[in-house]
């Protein structure tokens, strides 16, 4: 199917599928819109579109949960799939396979279009007029440090030498109408790019892209390898270039169909306090950190702009879903390229992206004759331990491919019937990411801990092997047909 070039066409199709809920009564951007959004994600309701936002200029809107799990029955990944130009009813495995192929395809650089035709240039605010005061900047959680400008948008930045343009999601907090601060972690790409500018003692040009092509935010949340331009990878996913336009005040290009673009410079020093903020792991912590200041030089926006909002918290919401797809695709490609008989790797969103479920072909022994399950699991764990994306998975379970790794019910059944309580597991000491709360505080601060891989593989199949006891596997076809016809 054709991909969406802006947020409005995407919302139009979601509406036809019953996955958008327009809220016409007045809603405050201070906690209320986020509370509606949080309730929406927890109840798997349609995405809320707030048409009447208190304190905002007339026509300005808020959109919650644009990339969360869908309310469409049997198609939880519909919003993700549609964002990436794929059918809404695609399976998790087919979605990952598409991403694997795109990662292996030649990148497609963006296409620069004229500012006069770019929707994001319909309104331009410069200098003192470029203030956040007219926009519905949301307060997301009661204990947050302030209102958050960026919860579901992409920060565009490039290295001083221009070799790498990075698109990434990182939270950004409002300080006042023309200043913000946000997480610039050394382990993340925005931190790597900012470090190069800071070492020169120069402010880093940036642009924050809010709304627009829904695939932009999806790719911004995925763990793309270092020095890879997300915009070119997104072009490979689409099979066509992403249209971009030059910023007004900085030497950067942004998606032409964006709803809102904020431009300016990031200070070379950590001279502000950011946080606290309730994050994707599902915990509201009191942590703050010293971070640089984002100064605003320009804001451009479409008529009647839509400001996207992610109300992060316990899974599953936008903050886990998009990254999970990216990690799953990259790890699937890694394990398959290592010659391992892996069907798919799926980062289980329900666990706040801490459990990786790897399924292998049921006939894997034909490809690896004489190999025990422990050896196959050892090879999988070793491969993961030596790669950045593999080290992002604290716990991995390896199962046969008779289960759907994206189906939590399937996974729980396999965990209960195939994983030994304390045997058939192996661990590796690796560098870890600091935001996984399953690790001790000492491990998170040191950046070192272990990943564990569990062997949940079944013994070789024989005529006496047990079968799944389900409606589809137990009963003759004619009986199943009569039951289904009576529904």
Distances in whole angstroms, Cα of residue 424 to Cα of each of 337, 403, 457: 25, 19, 10
442 a catalytic residue: no
Contact between 111 and 244 (Cβ < 8 Å): yes
Residue keyed to tokens 């070492």: 199
- Alpha helices in 283-418, H assignment, sequence order: 318-337, 364-367, 373-385, 408-418
Burial group, residue 289, by CB count within 10 angstroms (0-12, 13-18, 19+): middle
**Helix 373-385 / helix 318-337 crossing angle, nearest 10 deg:** 110
CA distances from residue 321 to 8, 95, 240 in whole angstroms, order as listed: 21, 13, 24
Catalytic residue among 279, 291, 297, 330: 279
- Going by C-alpha positions, the residue among 219, 224, 152, 162 that lies closest to residue 188 is 224
Question: Are 171 and 202 contacting, i.e. CB atoms less than 8 angstroms apart?
Answer: no
Nearest CA-CA partner of 197 in 166, 218, 228: 166
CA–CA distances in Å: residue 77 to residues 22, 92, 325, 421: 21, 7, 10, 32
Cα 357 from Cα 341, distance rounded (Å): 14
DSSP three-state, residue 198: helix
Structure tokens at 241: 């270039």
Q: Measure the CA–CA gap between 296 and 247, rounded to whole angstroms.
A: 13
Return the active site residues. Answer: 279
């Amino acid at each position: 199917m054709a991909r969406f070039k802006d947020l409005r066409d995407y919302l139009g199709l979601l509406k036809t599928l019953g996955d958008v809920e327009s809220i016409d009564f007045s809603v405050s951007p201070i906690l209320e819109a986020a509370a509606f959004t949080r309730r929406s994600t927890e109840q798997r309701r349609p995405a809320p579109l707030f048409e009447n936002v208190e304190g905002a200029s007339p026509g300005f809107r808020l959109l919650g949960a644009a990339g969360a799990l869908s309310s469409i029955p049997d198609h939880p990944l519909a919003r993700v799939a549609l964002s990436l130009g794929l059918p809404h009813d695609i399976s998790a495995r087919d979605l990952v396979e598409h991403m694997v192929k795109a990662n292996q395809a030649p990148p497609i650089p963006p296409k620069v279009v004229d500012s006069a035709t770019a929707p994001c240039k319909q309104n331009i605010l410069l200098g003192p007029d470029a203030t956040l005061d007219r926009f519905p900047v949301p307060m997301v959680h009661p204990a947050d440090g302030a209102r958050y400008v960026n919860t579901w948008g992409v920060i565009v930045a490039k290295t001083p030498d221009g070799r790498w343009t990075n698109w990434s999601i990182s939270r950004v907090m409002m300080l006042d109408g023309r200043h913000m601060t946000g997480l610039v972690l050394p382990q993340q790409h925005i931190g790597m790019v900012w470090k190069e500018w800071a070492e020169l003692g120069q402010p880093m040009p940036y642009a924050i892209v809010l709304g627009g092509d829904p695939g932009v935010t999806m790719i911004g949340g995925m763990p793309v390898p270092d020095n890879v331009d997300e915009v070119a990878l997104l072009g490979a996913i689409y099979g066509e270039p992403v249209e971009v336009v030059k910023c007004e005040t900085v030497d950067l290009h942004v998606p032409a169909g964006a709803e809102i673009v904020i431009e300016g410079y990031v200070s070379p020093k950590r001279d502000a306090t950011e946080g606290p903020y309730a994050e994707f792991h599902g915990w509201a912590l009191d942590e703050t950190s010293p971070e640089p200041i984002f100064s605003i030089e320009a804001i451009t926006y479409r008529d009647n702009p839509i400001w996207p909002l992610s109300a992060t918290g316990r899974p599953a919401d936008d903050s886990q879903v998009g990254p999970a797809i990216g990690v799953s695709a990259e790890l699937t490609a890694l394990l398959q390229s290592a010659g391992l008989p892996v069907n798919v790797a799926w980062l289980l969103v329900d666990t706040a992206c801490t459990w990786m479920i790897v399924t292998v072909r049921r006939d894997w022994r034909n490809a690896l004759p004489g190999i025990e399950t422990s050896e196959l699991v050892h090879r999988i764990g070793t491969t993961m331990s030596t790669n950045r994306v593999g080290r992002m998975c604290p716990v991995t379970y390896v199962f046969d491919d008779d289960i759907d790794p994206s189906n939590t019910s399937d996974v729980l059944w396999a965990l209960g019937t195939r994983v030994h309580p304390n045997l058939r597991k192996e661990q590796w000491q690796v560098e870890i990411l600091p935001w996984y709360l399953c690790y001790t505080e000492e491990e998170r601060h040191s950046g070192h801990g272990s990943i564990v891989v569990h062997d949940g593989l079944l013994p070789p199949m024989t005529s006496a092997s047990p079968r799944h006891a389900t409606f589809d596997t137990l009963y003759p076809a004619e009986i199943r047909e009569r039951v289904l016809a009576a529904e």
